[in-house]
C-alpha cells in the first residue's frame, strides 16, 4: 500500500470513506517545507483551488491514508488528475508517533494566484477540523481572503 497525504477537502474522513473505501486513516501529520496556497480557477467553486508549493519554514496539515491500488485510481479521478487539473507528487510527511513517512499527494497543474471562494475555504476548514487539525489551522484558513460573494 502507498500512503496518500490529504490536505484539502480530502482531509474530511467522511469524504475519503466515499472516495477510497478500502483506505484506512493511518495518522495525521505535517508536510514541512510546504505551504497551502491557491491557484487556477474553478467554475464549480467560484474561485481558485487549493494546492501546495514548496517553501522553507512553512507546514501543511495532512491526513495520511493507507491507499491500496484498488482505491488509487478513484482518488486520482476525484482530483481531476486524468484531466490535467492536479498532478501526483511524492512528499515526506512528519508525524508525531511514526516519524517521517513517504507519501504521494496532488498539486495543482496551474498557476499560483487567485482567491478561493468563501464556501470553498469553509469546506477546507471544516475538513481540517474533522481530521483533528490543531485549532489554529482551520482558524487561519477561515481568515484568508476570498472572492467577493456573488449576489
pLDDT at 69 over 60: yes
| Domains within the chain, CATH numbers bracketed | 2-142 (3.10.490.10)
Q: Each residue of 86-125: pLDDT tens digit?
A: 899 999 999 988 789 999 999 999 889 999 999 999 999 9
The CA distance from 72 to 90, in Å, is: 14
Q: What pLDDT is attached to residue 44?
A: 67
Pairing of strands 86-95, 99-108: antiparallel
Q: pLDDT band for 150, please (50, 70, 90 cuts).
A: low
The CA distance from 5 to 48, in Å, is: 20
pLDDT at 80 over 90: no
pLDDT at 151 over 60: no
Q: Which of 27, 4, 1 is nearest to 91 (CA)?
A: 4
Q: What pLDDT is attached to residue 76?
A: 86
The per-residue pLDDT of the chain, averaged, comes to 91
The CA distance from 129 to 11, in Å, is: 9
Q: Each residue of 13-62: pLDDT tens digit?
A: 999 999 999 999 999 999 999 999 999 876 666 889 999 999 999 999 99
Amino acid at each position: 500500500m502507498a500512503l496518500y497525504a490529504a490536505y484539502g477537502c480530502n482531509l474530511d474522513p467522511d469524504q475519503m470513506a466515499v472516495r477510497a473505501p478500502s483506505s484506512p486513516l493511518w495518522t495525521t501529520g505535517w508536510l514541512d517545507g510546504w505551504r497551502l496556497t491557491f491557484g487556477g480557477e474553478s467554475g464549480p467553486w467560484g474561485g481558485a483551488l487549493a494546492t501546495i508549493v514548496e517553501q522553507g519554514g512553512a507546514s501543511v496539515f495532512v491526513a495520511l491514508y493507507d491507499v491500496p491500488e484498488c482505491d488509487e485510481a478513484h482518488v486520482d479521478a476525484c482530483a481531476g488528475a486524468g484531466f490535467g487539473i492536479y498532478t501526483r507528487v511524492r512528499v515526506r510527511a512528519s508525524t508525531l508517533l511514526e516519524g517521517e513517512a513517504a507519501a504521494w499527494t496532488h498539486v495543482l497543474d496551474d498557476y499560483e494566484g487567485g482567491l478561493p471562494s468563501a464556501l470553498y475555504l469553509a469546506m477546507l476548514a471544516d475538513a481540517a477540523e474533522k481530521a483533528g487539525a490543531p485549532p489554529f489551522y482551520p482558524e487561519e484558513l477561515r481568515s484568508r481572503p476570498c472572492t467577493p460573494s456573488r449576489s
